[in-house]
Amino acid sequence: MEKYNLLKDEFSLTNEQINKFVQYASLLKEWNKKFNLTAIDNDRDIIIKHFYDSLLCTKAWTDFSGKKLIDIGTGGGFPGLPLKILNPDLDVTLCDSLFKRITFLNEVIANLELEKTTTLHGRAEDLGKDISHRENYDLVTARAVAKLPILLELCLPLIKVGGVFIALKGPEVQSELQESQYALNLLGGEVIDIKEFKLKEIDEQRTIVLFKKSFPTPSKYPRKAGIPQKRMLVEMR
């Protein structure tokens, strides 16, 4: 439990929340023996590189209370599940295209008795076309899923006008940001903040970029599944 003091102090967690993180780490390690969920599977790295890293979102954006959030390409639940544990009244949807990851997430949700937490097996490109998901979320998150111009096409269609996309990135974000201007103009987004962080106890830099949805995404986007990755929305020179 001592290993969790870092999280407890930094994010003012209650004992109940710490217990949920402990259970989550234990399930992650257990399932990782059978399925390849994550390359990170010792306690210290799970706490810092998954939990702490995910919760950094709350230092870049603070208004989660009562909001509807979808985490695209959530994998083992990052950053969506740590954000849910920290903000119990957040309504969270965890989306991934790999079914085994969804099975794991359902197990975590049941064990941790998380309310208002749903999983969705599918591709972001398809959800973006589906009227029950398109422009239906206040917040969208994504970590380690794709380069920014691709991510913008996957994520912006899902956000309500005025909502925010929180992109969790590594240190090298400037060139991706420059490449993103074309997609932003086309899809209805603007950069509202860029925050840099150092991971505690590890010398690794993280950047969180906040995008605001400024106008409705034209109906032709997102394009068919696989196209955003093959033909990234960047300016042709």
Interface with ligand SAM (CB under 6 A): 72-76, 78, 95-98, 101, 123-125, 143-145, 154
**How far apart, in Å, do the first and last CA atoms of the chain sit?**
55
Q: Residue 97: CA atoms inside 13 Å, Cβ hemisphere, count?
A: 10
Q: In the complex, what is the shortest distance from the CB of residue 15 to ligand SAM, in angstroms, rounded to a whole number? A: 26
Q: In the complex, what is the shortest distance from the CB of residue 117 to ligand SAM, in angstroms, rounded to a whole number? A: 16
Q: In the complex, what is the shortest distance from the CB of residue 145 to ligand SAM, in angstroms, rounded to a whole number? A: 5
Q: Quote the Cα angle for 191-208-11, to 5°.
A: 130
Q: Return the number of the residue (75 or 188) whose C-beta is nearest ligand SAM.
A: 75
Q: In the complex, what is the shortest distance from the CB of residue 70 to ligand SAM, in angstroms, rounded to a whole number? A: 10
Q: Return the number of the residue (82 or 162) whose C-beta is nearest ligand SAM.
A: 82
Q: Return the number of the residue (18 or 227) whose C-beta is nearest ligand SAM.
A: 227
Q: Return the number of the residue (126 or 214) whose C-beta is nearest ligand SAM.
A: 126
Question: CA distances (Å), 14 to each of 18, 53, 56, 185, in order?
Answer: 6, 19, 17, 42
Could you give the CA distance from residue 169 to residue 147 in angstroms, rounded to a whole number? Answer: 9
Q: In the complex, what is the shortest distance from the CB of residue 47 to ligand SAM, in angstroms, rounded to a whole number? A: 14
Q: In the complex, what is the shortest distance from the CB of residue 80 to ligand SAM, in angstroms, rounded to a whole number? A: 8
Could you give the CA distance from residue 170 to residue 82 in angstroms, rounded to a whole number? Answer: 19
Q: Return the number of the residue (145 or 233) whose C-beta is nearest ligand SAM.
A: 145
Q: Return the number of the residue (118 or 214) whose C-beta is nearest ligand SAM.
A: 118
